[in-house]
Amino acid sequence: MRADRLVATLLLMQARGRVTAAELAEELEVSVATARRDLEALSSAGVPVYPQPGRGGGWSLVGGARTDLSGLSATEAQALFLLVGPAAAVSGEAKAALRKLVRALPEPFRAEAAAAADATMTDPTGWGDRDRPRPGIVDLLQAAVIRRERVRLAYTDGRRERSERVVDPWGLVDKDDTWYLIAGTERGQRTFRVDRITEAAATGEQAERPDDFALAAAWQGVVDEVEQRRSRTWATLRVEARYVAILRDQFGRHCEVEDDSESAGRVQVRVGAPTPLDIARNLAGWGALVEVVEPAAVRDELARIGRELTAAYDG
């Protein structure tokens, strides 16, 4: 888990004063490239880590070797906890490491550092496009979550309707490069896609947050609701086993291998989507590589798409 490595990296640097990527890789049992990426991640996040090139060089902490975290500023502590916090949602070891880090911080920094650790989480399973650039507005929203400060948003929804509202920011989720803000509104908890927020500004007003709010649990509720809408229609397919990974990439968690005992290297797979047309659109480019067993509605949509293509391009 990367969070464990980042914490271990920082503590190792404090103990030794200076380390090379090769030394760190040997100590943590990772590749040199992985160790270098972790060092660069700490540096780019604002933790006072910097490289010294040349013979006898390496990576050091500004201020020299320390045995605890009391040398971090409030901003640096927040940066570190924003890095390791998301992984703590799924790793008991990372949670334990964060608790130790909190206790090692000066008292004035503890509340905001702990809030930073709970401000974001990562969900690696995508719902669509990947490799989206990180919206610049994420930094503003993270700061508002940590400080519990209300934010005024200008938002354009999926129907292209624009609205303005003041929300209480509760947490951020990075779902495979698409960011979501979970916030309290006059109508209760709502979820906003960050790339649809056209403007955001902190109001300076104190935000309210339920005492029992847990970001992971709130996000699981959002996922369950969305997944239910996304899988109203299921289709059974037959396809060569080597193509299952591609289908899983297309349909995400809505792709299940039902029977892998088919002859001639073919397997039976179930895929889900909101409508028969959505499934047909995803499968149309496969041609005869995929056979739709059922339902008839998906087969009918594929036949209709085929007739449209034939009429448009045949001769």
Residue closest to 189 by CA, chosen among 173, 159, 206, 168: 168
Question: Tokens representing 34?
Answer: 């992985």
> What is the CATH class of 231-313?
alpha beta
Residue 207 carries which DSSP code? P
Given a contact cutoff of 8 angstroms between Cβ atoms, the answer to whether 137 and 197 are in contact is yes
Distances (CA, A) of 166 to 3, 130, 151, 212, 220: 33, 29, 6, 22, 24
pLDDT at 36: 87
pLDDT at 267: 92
Query: How do the domains of the chain map onto residue ranges?
Result: 2-117, 123-214, 231-313
Distances (CA, A) of 175 to 128, 130, 193, 224, 305: 10, 9, 10, 14, 32
For residue 136, give the 3-state DSSP assignment: coil
CATH topology of domain 2-117: Arc Repressor Mutant, subunit A (1.10.10)
pLDDT at 265: 78
pTM: 0.51
Q: Which architecture does CATH list for 123-214?
A: Roll (2.30)
Alpha-carbon span 125 to 94, nearest angstrom: 21
Question: Tokens representing 303?
Answer: 């036949």
Give kind and range of the element (H or E) at residue 140: helix 137-147
pLDDT at 66: 46
Give kind and range of the element (H or E) at residue 110: helix 107-117
List average pLDDT for each run of 10 residues in the chain, which is 315 residues long: 64 75 83 86 75 77 54 60 57 58 60 65 60 78 88 90 93 84 93 93 93 88 80 90 90 82 78 92 92 95 94 84
pLDDT at 90: 47
